Structure formats: C-alpha cells, structure tokens
Structure 1
Amino acid sequence: MSLVINHNLMAMNANRNLGSAYNSLGVSTRRLSSGLRVGTAADDAAGLAIRELMRADVKTLNQGIRNANDAISMIQTADGALGVIDEKLIRMKELATQAATGTYNSDQRLIIDSEYQAMASEITRIANATDFNGIHLLNGNLSGANSAHNGNGLTSTGPVKVHFGSGNDSAEDYYYVSINTSTASALGVGLAANNSISTQALAQASLDKLNNAIISKDKIRANLGALQNRLENTITNLSVQAENVQASESRISDVDVATEMTEFTKNQILTQAAVAMLGQANGMPRMAMQLIGG
C-alpha cells in the first residue's frame, strides 16, 4: 500500500470494520436486554411471522380455557338449582304418599295439597329465577327442543354456544350447552299441569307423575354432569396445547443467553480493537509529512 496524503485507506478500512462490529454489538445488547432473539422483522422475517401466529394461538387458547371455565360455572349454577328442585320433588312425593292413604279426611288432604302446590310453585320460581350472568338457565330459554342456537342478534337465543378453539370449526372449536325446562308444568306436577293430591285417587295418580318428574330432572342433571366432564377434559387439552405452542414460540423468539453473551463478548473485543486501530491509522499521514519535511 502506497503512502499517500489524499486518502487514508487504512483509516477507512478500520472505520468500516468498527461500524460493522459496533452494529453487531448493538444487536447483541438489544437481544440481551429484551430477552428476544427476534426483536424486529430484520432479525428473522420468517421467524417473526411464525412467532406472531403462535402468540395469537396462545392468547386464543388461554381465552378458550377461560370460556370453558365460565361454562363450567354456569353448569354448576344450574345443577345447584336442580338439586334444590330435587328436594322439592322428594317432599312432594312424600306428601302424595301421605295423601294417598285412607286415614286422612278431605280437610286434611286439602291442607296437604296446599303444601304440595306451594312446593310446585317454588319449583317454578326457582326455574324462572336461576340465571348466570343474566342468562336464565332453567326456564326453557336454553332448551334445544324447539329452537337452535342463533347468535345473529345482540342477545343470542337457544342453547349456549361455548367457544374455546382458535378457529370456527363446529367439530373442533365449540359445542352447545342445552338445558331443558325445569318448571313444575314442564315436569308435569302442580296446578299448572292439572296435578293435585286433594283426593285419594288424585294422590295415587300423582305418584307416577312425580316419578316421571324426578326422572326428567335427573336426565337434565346427568346431561349437565356429562357436559361438565367434557368441558374439564377440554380444558386439560387446551392447557397442553397452549403450553406446547408457547414452548415452540419461545424457541423461535427468545434469545439463547449463553450463545448471545458469547457474541456480545466477541463484538465488544472487535469494537475495542477497531477503535484502537482507527486511532493508529489516523496517525499514518504524519509519516508523509516527515518525508516532506526531510
């Protein structure tokens, strides 16, 4: 290399190497301080795209878990109310058995029937009053017998749609919770169903109706129990999915601290060396001045 004064090529070369090392040092510093290997699209364009999709899936799966837990709470609310209705039906059957015997007179049966009808009214009140977050559960609004789910309006109608997946596939991402009507008339007991125990014959006939009512109520509770178990299994599966997707996202996005610290140290040494050599190169033109002066 010739000794010239118009251009300091060694300084230019040292400056270029310094810029490269300093930029690499900045990248390592950003990665170590943020914990992310992919901080910008320039770091890994394809990896960034995959990471963002995975992040969306993780958020969606975690929300799906919350949705399923909310549905379990709703089912437990309905089942708790049906447990109270169960107590009323058992008491009504006890009263019907009492009125069916011949040792009571008509006035006494009317008194027994008064309590019987009060129990039926309470069943209807419980069915109409039981709600979860404003959604009535036992009054027939969620029954799938007469209508399907319709979510086109501001207020959905029909069975409750529990959405837990990241897509919109009915076979994978959601299913419905349907709860049949549990009022006294729907169960076939009480005055609303033309049912009374005011006479011995009516009391005997009521025993069959009460058996059917208890069976109908048990079917509703059994269906709710099966749905709760299904939702709990869904939550377990969603949790495993979210964990594995999060692990995959981490492998793409997160920085390997040990590897990056090695890069940081290397770039730090290169930067320091480049600064030292740039200082030396900037002093080279003075050698030409010595020749001119001589």
Structure 2
Amino acid sequence: MSLTINNNLMAQNAARNLAQSYGRLGTSTERLSSGLRINSAADDAAGLAIRELMRAEISSMRQGIRNANDAISMIQTADGALAVIDEKLIRMKELATQAATGTYNSDQRLIIDSEYQAMASEITRIANATKFNGIYLLNGNLSSSAANAANWGGDHKGEGLNSTGPLKIHFGPANSSAEDYYYIAIGNSTASALGVGSSANRGAKSAPHLEESAGYSISTQQGAQQALDALENAILSKDNIRASLGALQNRLANTITNLSIQAENLQAAESRISDADVALEMTEFVRNQIITQAAVAMLAQANSLPRMAMQLISG
C-alpha cells in the first residue's frame, strides 16, 4: 500500500469497521435495555408479524377471561335473588297448607291469603328489581322460547344499541359460535310467570290437571288445596332456572381455566420469538465493545500515518 497524503485508505478502512462495530454495539445496547430481541421490523420482519398477532390474541384472551368472570358475577347475582324467591315460595306453600285445612274459618283464611299475596308481590318486586350493570335479570328480558341451550341464539338480537333476548357472553379471540361465545338465558321469575298470587293469569292453567288460576288465591279451602300443586310447579320452575344458571357458571369456570392455559402457553411462544437472550446479548455486547475500542485505536493510528509522508518531505 502506497504512502499517500490525499487518500488515507487505512483510516477509511478503520472508520468503516468502526461504524459497523459501533452499529452492532448499538443493537446490543438496545436489546439489553428493552429486553426484546425484536425492537423494529428491521430486526426480524417475519418475527415481528408473528409476535404482534400473538400479542393481539393474548390480549383478547385475557379480556375474554374478564368477560367470563363478569358473567359469573352476573349469574351469582341472579342466583342470589332466586334464593330469596325460593324462601318466599316455601313460605307461600306453608301458608297454602295452613289454609287448606278445615279448622280455619273464612275470615282467618282471608288473613292468611293477605300474607300469601304479599309474598307473591315481593317475588315480583325482586324479579323486576334484580339487575347487574343495568341489565335486568329475572323479569323475562333474558328468556328464550327454546328449551335447548344450543338454540338460545335464535332469540338473541344484538343489532341495536341494546341487545334483546338471551345474553351473549363473548370470551374468545375470534367470532366462531362453537369456540368463542355462547348464550345465557334466564327465565321470567315474577309471580305471574310462576303462576302464583293475584297477578297470575286467571285464564291460564298452572298444570294440565289443575283448574284455572290454581295458585291465584288461598282465601278458600279448595283454592288453598289447588295452590299447593301450583306452588309445587312454581318451585320446580324456579329450580330449573337455578340449575341452568349453576351449569352455566361451572361452564364459565372451565372456560376461564382453559383460556388461562391458552394465554400462558401463547405468552411463552411469544417470549421465545420476541424476548432477548440476556446471556447471549451480553456476550455480543462485550465482544462488540472490545471491537469498537480496537477500531477507535486503529483509526487513531491510521490518521497519524500521513505524518510519515511529511517527515519524508521535510527530511
């Protein structure tokens, strides 16, 4: 290599190597400071795309877990109210049994019936007042005409600002009905829907073998006797609602467990793609740091070489 003044090729070569090693040192510093192997698309374009899709799915799953937990809270609210309604129905059956015996006169049965009607009114009040986050649970708004849970979605209408019909619980990251959501239907639990009390439809039969409005009143001995069967049917109807809610609560708990496992495994996969290996990056950092320091030293030496030409000229 010739000794020249205009072009110092050794210095240029050292500067180029210094720029490369300094760039790698910056990359190692960025990865160590952020903890991520991929900080921009330039680091790994395909890896970045996969990571962002995984992050979106993980976030969606975690929100799905919160949605399922909210649904469990809603179910517990409804079940608690139904437990109080259960107490009222039991008391009403006790009163009907009392009024059905012949040892009471008409005035006494009217007194008993007044409490019976008060219990029915309280059942209706509880059913109409029970709500979760502004959603009324027991007044029939969430009921479905389909007995099979698989067909509850047919009564759901979610096009408007306020959805109607069975409640749609969405917990999955996509929109497949089989894997990502299902419906919760809660039957009407008012006294009239259960067929008891003065608000019951007097033209309807509580059961095929009963006379009309069997649970309407216990002011007569015959009415009290018929009310026993109506109350039995009302308790069974209420129990069916509670059993359905209990099954849905268990299903939601299993859904939460499954989503938690999925999110955890997906997070592990995302970590393997995105996170920096600190031990490896620290090794690279030290290596690049040493190379950078050496390049700086060599650049300083290369910059001093033209002085040798000046010595020849001045000599």
Offset of residue 292 of structure 1: 2.1
CA distance in 1, matches of 2:261, 2:92: 47
**Alignment match, 1:165:** 172
Aligned counterpart, 2:261: 240
Alpha-carbon deviations, 1:97-140, whole Å to 9, x = none? 00011110110001000100110010011000100011000000
**2:185 paired residue number:** 178
**What is aligned with 1:266?**
287
Q: How does 1:168-207 map to 2 (within 5 A)?
A: 168-193=175-200, 194=213, 195-207=216-228
The Cα shift of 1:290 comes to 1.9
Secondary structure at the counterpart of residue 191 of structure 1: coil
Instruction: Write out per-residue CA displacement over residues 61-112 of structure 1, whole angstroms, 9 at most, x where no aligned residue.
Output: 0000000000000000000000000000000000000001111011000100
Question: Aligned to 2:297, which of 260, 276, 280?
Answer: 276
Distance in 2 of aligned mates of 1:224 and 1:254: 43
Deviation readout 1:156-190 (Å, 9 max, x if unpaired) = 11111000000010011000000000011111111
Q: TM-score of the superposition, structure 1-length normalised?
A: 0.98
Q: 2:217 & 2:41 partners in 1: Cα distance?
A: 76
Q: Distance in 2 between matches of 1:117 and 1:5?
A: 112
Residue 256 of structure 1: CA displacement?
0.6
> Whole-Å Cα distance in 2 between the matches of residues 123 and 290 of structure 1?
110
Deviations 1:10-62 (A, max 9, x none): 00000000000001101111111111110011001001111111110111000
Quick one: which amino acid aligns to residue 219 of structure 1?
N
Distance 2:108 2:308 in 1: 128
- Alpha-carbon distance between aligned partners in 1 of 2:193 and 2:245, rounded to the nearest angstrom: 18
Question: What does residue 28 of structure 2 align with?
Answer: 28
Structure 2 CA distance for aligned equivalents of residues 211 and 189 of structure 1: 10
Quick one: percent identity of the two aligned structures?
78
Structural mapping, 1:144-155, within 5 Å: 144-145=144-145, 148-155=155-162
Deviates more, 1:87-96 or 1:193-202: 193-202
Match of 2:295, as an amino acid?
A
Q: CA deviation at 1:145?
A: 1.4
When the two chains are superposed, the root-mean-square deviation of aligned CA atoms in Å is: 0.9
Mapped to 2, the partners of 1:231 and 1:268 lie a distance apart of 54
Q: Which amino acid aligns with 2:63?
A: Q
| Count of residue pairs the alignment pairs up | 294
Equivalence map 1:14-163=2 (5 Å):
14-145=14-145, 148-163=155-170
Aligned residue among 191, 210, 221 for 2:242:
221
SS in 2 for 1:144: coil
One-letter identity of the residue aligned with 2:195: G
Q: Could you tell me how far apart the structure 2 residues matched to 1:284 and 1:95 are?
A: 113
* Aligned-pair CA distance for 1:265: 0.1
- 1:288, distance to aligned residue in structure 2 (A): 1.5
CA distance in 1 between counterparts of 2:284 and 2:297 reads 20
Residue 155 of structure 2 aligns to a residue whose secondary structure is coil
Normalised TM-score (structure 2):
0.92
Amino acid at match of 1:112: I
Q: Which runs of 5+ in 2 are unaligned?
A: 147-153, 201-212
Name the structure 1 match of 2:210: none
SS at match of 2:199: helix
SS at match of 1:192: coil
Greater Cα shift, 185-194 or 102-111? 185-194
Cα deviation for residue 293 of structure 1 reads: 2.4
Instruction: Give the distance between the partners of 1:59 and 1:257, measured in 2 at CA.
Output: 25
